Chain A
Amino acid sequence: MSFALDIMTIVAVSVSAFFFLAGTVGLLRFPDTLTRLHALTKADNLGLGLLVLGLLPQAESLRGGIKLICVWIIVLLAGATVSQLIAYAARREGSQL
């Protein structure tokens, strides 16, 4: 059982690292602020979710696991809303140039 949990952790963390890499590549290569914001928000949040999923089997108690999921939900909520605000600011800034 613990071997299966370890496999789950390894797979989830590896996929999450891939998504973080994809997000950063997007951040580096995309041409404009809004597309970079898109890469940052979508890929990185998904990467964090997969990471939380991968670390859940390693959590030392139920309380730790619940806290991990709470972290992810807060980051998701904050990311989804703040990216909208940054996009408005970017568009306002761009329209003034």
Chain B
Amino acid sequence: MTFALALEIVLAAVVLTGAVWTIASRETLPAVAGFVAYGLLLALVWVRLGAPDVALTEAAIGSGLTGALLVSAAARLRSSEGPMAVERPDVILRVLAAVLSAAVTTALAISVLLLPDPAPTLATAAAENAAATGLGNPVTNVLMAFRAMDTMLEKIVLLLALVGVWSLAPDRLWGGRPGPRHHADPQGVLAFVARVLPPVGIIVGIYILWTSADHPGGAFQGGTILAAMWLLVMMAGLTDAPPVSERRQRLLLLAGPVVFLIVGLGGLAFGDAFLAYPMAYAKPLILAIEFAMIVTIAVTLGLLVAGPPEREAGS
């Protein structure tokens, strides 16, 4: 039993225990805390598998931002948690759900274990063509050059999700401000953290974007950090959530997909195909798209966590 194997067994055991515990928990708040811990453990697994880009995304979004979102949901459900706990589904339904989950897991495990070794992959083709964009990070190459269409569509899906969240507002509050008004003692600890941490966070977020050209990183992960810092400043009451109808905010939300679309159409007009980059300009074009995207992602994710409007726009 080598050290490496023992380590992987320990890691897998801890991850599985965390997952089972989170599902089995009876109250919402411990389950959310367990979920955040599970996200961290998954990030560890990704690092172990040599995928730091995915680990970055898991730590930032899967664990951090989603954790905050779930805590808000848990807080809202708190008043109904008592009555709901009495209404658990009966044993047969739960056994059926367990059997179904186990069947899906087994099918997945079998299909992964039966893959030929080495598994069929396009990774070598992507690595061979890496010189086309001049970027050193193969993941960025795939995301921004070879499968740029997928990335662009994902950003539009994010926008649609945001519109979906906004549509949960009651009619009379449409256009209002999301979330409650937060207050904090301006001399207190929370205000202090909200003044000191965001500048550091902004630098780290932009660094993660900048370094994604040659090292693991990306606009998505950087944007998530920026969104978290913005939410932190809002939670400390140092700034208020902007009303949903604000024009400048909507322009920022559109900036990413629009720049992407313009570059894509430019590729159609001046090049071979939609989203084709001319070889000489590939890197600056990709950087321009990524900078527009990080702004959009930061604003979108921040607004997604802030939620639907709950107050009048003028308050």
Contacts and interface: CB of A to CB of B under 8 A. Distances in A.
B270 interface: no
A58 interface: no
Contacts of A78: 193, 197
A77 B193 CA distance: 8
Interface string B196-229: 1100100010000000000000000000000000
Contacts of B192: 81
A85 B204 CA distance: 24
Most B CB contacts (10 A, CB to CB) among A70, A81, A82, A84 go to A81
A10 B84 CA distance: 52
Contacts of A85: 189-190
B200 A82 contact: no
Interface residues of B, number: 8
A74 interface: yes
Interface of B: 189-190, 192-193, 196-197, 200, 204
B67 to A, nearest CB: 14
Contacts of B196: 77
B200 A81 contact: no
Contacts, number: 17
B18 to A, nearest CB: 16
Contacts of A81: 189-190, 192-193
Contacts of A77: 193, 196-197
Nearest to B189: A84
Nearest to B194: A81
A8 B193 CA distance: 34
A70 B192 CA distance: 19
Interface in A63-93: 70, 74, 77-78, 81-82, 84-85
A74 B192 CA distance: 14
A97 B190 CA distance: 25
Nearest to B192: A81
Interface in A12-59: none
A84 B204 CA distance: 25
Contacts of B190: 81, 85
B216 to A, nearest CB: 13
17 contacts: A70-B200, A70-B204, A74-B197, A74-B200, A77-B193, A77-B196, A77-B197, A78-B193, A78-B197, A81-B189, A81-B190, A81-B192, A81-B193, A82-B193, A84-B189, A85-B189, A85-B190
B260 to A, nearest CB: 30
A95 to B, nearest CB: 18
Given A74-B197, A78-B193, 11 more contacts: A70-B200, A70-B204, A74-B200, A77-B193, A77-B196, A77-B197, A78-B197, A81-B189, A81-B190, A84-B189, A85-B189
